[in-house]
Amino acid sequence: MMTTQKPADGHGPGPVFPFSAIVGQDEAKLALLLAAVDSSIGGVLVLGDRGTGKSTAVRALAGLLPSMRVAAGCAYNCAPDAPVGLCDKCNAPKARRVPVPVVDLPLGATEDRVVGALDLERALVHGEKVFEPGLLARAHRGFLYIDEVNLLEDHLVDLLLDVAASGANVVEREGLSVRHPARFVLVGSGNPEEGELRPQLLDRFGLAVEVNSPRDLATRVEVVRRRDAFDRDPETFTRRYRRAEGRLRRQLERATERLGAVAVDDAALEDAANLCMALGTDGLRGELTLVRAARALAAFEGEDAVGKAHLARVAPMALRHRLRRNPLDEVGSTTRVERALAEQFAS
């Protein structure tokens, strides 16, 4: 028996594997970085086999992200210059820098804790009706990570996708009526062998990447070597990568600042449209994501305009999950995207 504790009581998941120490997984790392540069890309889905370090990459991102300014003590992560005013802390905001939140949605979480619900303690002790914000509020302006997204109950997944798309969490339950901003990047990971993802769910994620176990021995050895070193002595290992992490963090910060200045000319838009048409993706969401991801990539690499090369690099992750496919088709969607790329961008 124990009494309830508010979160963050020091039992965090412990030291985090440094992002820059991850071997391989280039596409997954790039997708996460792009989503961090431009949150409007709309989430990342990481699919892969067991033991390929899907969660490691996402958790590592938490250690990498630059800090952000919030109103001190605000449960909704309000920016100090634009408070929403739902909690009393926001009325006289004092600015504080905190790490960008990467909130884990643990398996077995119930809906009331995800969207927020009646504050149990106050209801029981004082008979007061007060809203207690949930995980969605905590993830505002950050990332929400769902491991094993294919094991999550359907109604929770629907709810999360809906909030992620609209950027606001509307709670109408238990006589409470609350609306608060919840803009976050949804990151899901899963192993398709342990249950298929609903097809409708796939294209709600902006980017989709596939992670495989490395095939060549040298890479596998390096993965084992670093992981083992980290497990044995996390502090020393993390220290070794501190400078690399710092460099990457500064690059991220610069990219975020630069994003607005990156030009997307008509030729690039046309290229994107042609590619989507050739692949027969449904709707405009594919094109939009493709262009945004390419722009984020250009910003990340410090360039001024989006070119063919940027589009080509992000096309597989932006489009592979949007193709109409025969569910039993063995030909991977990645191959189809690559084929279309080769045809369209041949010149």
Partner 1 sequence: MTAAHGYDPGPWQLAVQAAHLFAVDPCGVVLCAQPGATRAAWLALVSDLMPGVPWRRVPAHVDATGLLGGLDLAATLAAGRPLATTGVLAASDGGVVELAMAERLGATAVGIIAAVLDDAVIALERDGLAIRRAARCAVIALDESAGDDAPVAPALADRLGLRVVLDGVRVTPDIAFTPDRAAVSRARALLAEVAVSDAQLTALTEVAAELRLSSLRPVLAALRVARAAAALDGMTRVDEMHLALAVSLVMLPRARQQLAPAGDQHGEEDAGQPDQRGDLERPDEAAHDGAATADEAGAAGSPAASGETSGSTPAQDAPPAGDSELDAAAACLPPGLLEHLARLGAAQRAGGRRAGRATGAVRAATRGRPLGSRPGRPGSGVRLDLVATLRAAAPWQRLRARGASGRVAVRQEDLRVRRFKARAEMTTVFVIDASGSSAAHRLAEAKGAIELLLAECYVRRDRVAVITFRGASAEVLLAPTRSLVRAKRALAHMPAGGGTPLAAALEASRALAERVASEGSRAQIVLLTDGRPNVNLAGCGGGDAAMRDALVVARGLRADGHAALVIDVAPRPRPFTAECAAVMGAAYLALPRADAATIAAAASTPAQRSQLA
**Is residue 290 within 8 Å of 314, Cβ to Cβ?**
yes
Q: What is the DSSP letter of 196?
A: P
Can residue 130 be called a binding residue for partner 1 (CB under 8 A)?
Answer: no
Q: Which member of 12, 15, 73, 99 binds partner 1 (CB under 8 A)?
A: 12
Pick the binder of partner 1 from 220, 240, 249, 308 (CB under 8 A).
Answer: 220
Nearest to 14 by CA among 240, 249, 234: 234
Tokens for 100?
A: 């960008």
How many Cβ atoms from other residues are within 10 Å of residue 27's Cβ? 19
26, 162, 196, 304: which one contacts partner 1 (CB under 8 A)? 196
Strands laid side by side in the 185-190 sheet: 102-104, 143-146, 185-190, 44-48, 207-211
**50 lines the binding site for partner 1 (CB under 8 A):** yes
Q: How many CB atoms lie within 10 A of CB 284?
A: 10
Query: Strands 207-211, 185-190: parallel, antiparallel or unpaired by DSSP?
Result: unpaired
Q: Which is nearer to partner 1, 39 or 56 (CB)?
A: 56
- Site membership for partner 1, residue 235 (CB under 8 A): no
DSSP state of 173: E
**Contacting residue, 127, 235, 260, 347, with partner 1 by CB under 8 A:** 127
**Does 240 engage in binding with partner 1 (CB under 8 A)?**
no
Residue from 117, 272, 319, 337 binding partner 1 (CB under 8 A)? 117
Under rule CB under 8 A, which residues in 87-106 are in contact with partner 1? 104-106
| 8 lies in the site for partner 1, by CB under 8 A | yes
Shortest CB 245 distance to partner 1, Å: 21
CB of 217 vs partner 1, minimal distance in Å: 4
Output phi, psi for 75, to 5 deg: -80, -10
CB of 311 to partner 1, least distance (A): 28
**Which pairing describes strands 102-104 and 143-146: parallel, antiparallel, or unpaired?**
parallel
Q: How many residues does the chain have?
A: 347
Residue 41 vs 197, nearer CB to partner 1: 197
Identify the residue among 95, 165, 221, 342 touching partner 1 (CB under 8 A): 221
Q: Binding residue for partner 1 (CB under 8 A) from 163, 223, 262, 315? A: 223
Active-site residue set: 285
Q: How many residues at the interface with partner 1, by CB under 8 A?
A: 76
* Residue with Cβ nearer partner 1 (13 or 260): 13
Q: Is 225 in the site for partner 1 (CB under 8 A)?
A: yes
210 binds partner 1 per the rule CB under 8 A: no
Site string for partner 1, 25-44 (x = CB under 8 A): --------------------
CB 316 within 8 A of CB 281: no
* H helix or E strand, kind and range, residue 317: helix 308-319
Q: Which span sits near partner 1 by CB under 8 A: 192-200, 253-261, 266-274, 301-309?
A: 192-200
What are the phi and psi torsion angles at 217 (to 5°)?
A: -60, -40
- Phi, psi of 133, deg, nearest 5: -65, 150
Distance of CA 292 to the CA centre of its chain: 15
Told to check if 1 binds partner 1 by CB under 8 A, we report yes
**Taking Cα atoms as reference points, which of 214, 239, 295 lies closest to residue 20?**
239
Q: Any contact of residue 120 with partner 1 (CB under 8 A)?
A: yes
Asked if 141 and 100 count as a contact pair (C-beta separation under 8 A), the reply is yes
As measured in angstroms, the least distance from the Cβ of 17 to partner 1 is 11
